[in-house]
Structure 1
């Protein structure tokens, strides 16, 4: 890595943050794919540590949570017998939280889609907050105990369940059915029902699929190793929170989610990000 100058490392990180795969990044920048992987590993680890440190005492008001599916090594049906049931082979879910006002993603968690991982995720979220919040999730039952165990009565919690109708379009493979309505259920506290929504977190799921090649459906661009998958997520969220300005935060001046949330006072450059390596 010492053989790469700053400009070349910036080129690599920019390509990765714009959704390119490891091999396409290597071809675009003229470096070996192992060099790209090494930089992703080292910088992803640094981004993970930095965000874990600074995402504390956050004053978020309205949070939305959801989980997004991907797979590592192979799809679950193709996992070899020697790895069957071993996490990191087959289905992998990423739990994500987003602040509806600042668009900050204060935390995320990679794991199975079960009650244990939901509890780990919500407990992590609770430890980063400085005040009572309003939280919205979908209707998945795993969130009920997770939120109760982490927050007790110190939260305004609601779930939003979407209702879908049967349509010709919805019967096609990978085409969602038409949403015909929603059911808002107050679980805890006194949430403002007009603010009960999962729109921002669902848009975040789309942004993730567009910004990370390994999340693209129906391709061979999936993650081959769980470690690289997690480092790619750490780099993505750092770029999203600290580097890229958000269109909804343009007034009174261009800001990133981290700026809007008071985590930083400036827009980070890619050189700043690489500076985390020391």
Structure 2
């Protein structure tokens, strides 16, 4: 018998675990353990699989069934992972010049449908990168949050196409801001991306049991998907 931490053979019996199994302790490193533990360490391969499944429209309960991990462990893992996701767009650098973005806001909720959380997004019409993200209320502060999330070169140069929601006009520069209808096709890319998010993120499906119960996880899941989406693009 060896210590699972330092591989030492200097092992002592050390009482029993809560489940009644013989507990052992390593004299060298102090690690306590039992033989054949009921809960085995989660492998790196399983964690990588979970990371991929979090990008698909599958609930946490579904991931538990697919991978065999415990609900408690998965919730801890998801909380930690989504809490560490960077809340800032990562896009390829652009030179100053002609840039065009399309903006839109998408409804979602946390906990219940009275707690609305609007997802404000901006997409580069040329590269299809998501270049702006803000999650909050559908008001002037939300439009400001989207504007502030844009990289500086877009705030300086980009022409913005949006719907007719009045909050945009109070924040975006008037000379480079154009409100248009869907029939123009000038917001097609961002509307298509909204649909992609609803198809890929179970938390955003309008009628679902997989809705977010925690705001930080809701925001983290959206950012996690957007980072992976931008990274998957082939940009010339």
The TM-score range, normalised by the shorter chain, is 0.7 to 0.9
In 2, the alpha carbon distance for the partners of 1:108 and 1:210 equals: 18
In 2, the alpha carbon distance for the partners of 1:93 and 1:204 equals: 15
In 2, the alpha carbon distance for the partners of 1:36 and 1:62 equals: 40
Equivalent residue number for residue 164 of structure 2: 139
TM-score using structure 1 length: 0.64
RMSD: 2.4
Deviations 1:223-277 (A, max 9, x none): 111111011112111221114xxxxxxxxxxxx1xx417xxxxxxxxxxxxxxxx
1:66 Cα deviation from its structure 2 partner: 0.4
Equivalent residue number for residue 177 of structure 1: none
Partner SS state of residue 98, structure 1: strand
Equivalent residue number for residue 105 of structure 2: 67
Equivalent residue number for residue 40 of structure 1: 78
Q: How many residues align?
A: 195
Deviations 1:16-64 (A, max 9, x none): 1122111111111111223223333333344325xx2744754582111
Whose RCO is larger (CA < 8 A, sep 6+)? 1
Equivalent residue number for residue 225 of structure 2: 236
Partner SS state of residue 104, structure 2: strand
Where does 1:79-228 land on structure 2 (aligned, <5 Å)? 90-125=115-150, 127=152, 129=154, 132-148=157-173, 153=175, 156-162=176-182, 181=183, 197-228=186-217
Q: Is the 8 A contact 2:99 2:154 kept in 1?
A: no
Name stretches of at least 5 consecutive residues in structure 2 with no aligned partner: 1-39
TM-score using structure 2 length: 0.74
Equivalent residue number for residue 31 of structure 1: 69
Equivalent residue number for residue 235 of structure 2: 260
1:220 Cα deviation from its structure 2 partner: 2.0
CA 208–54 in structure 1, closer or farther in 2 if over 3 Å, else same:
closer
Name stretches of at least 5 consecutive residues in structure 1 with no aligned partner: 77-89, 163-180, 183-195, 244-255, 262-278
Equivalent residue number for residue 270 of structure 1: none
In 1, the alpha carbon distance for the partners of 2:60 and 2:132 equals: 25
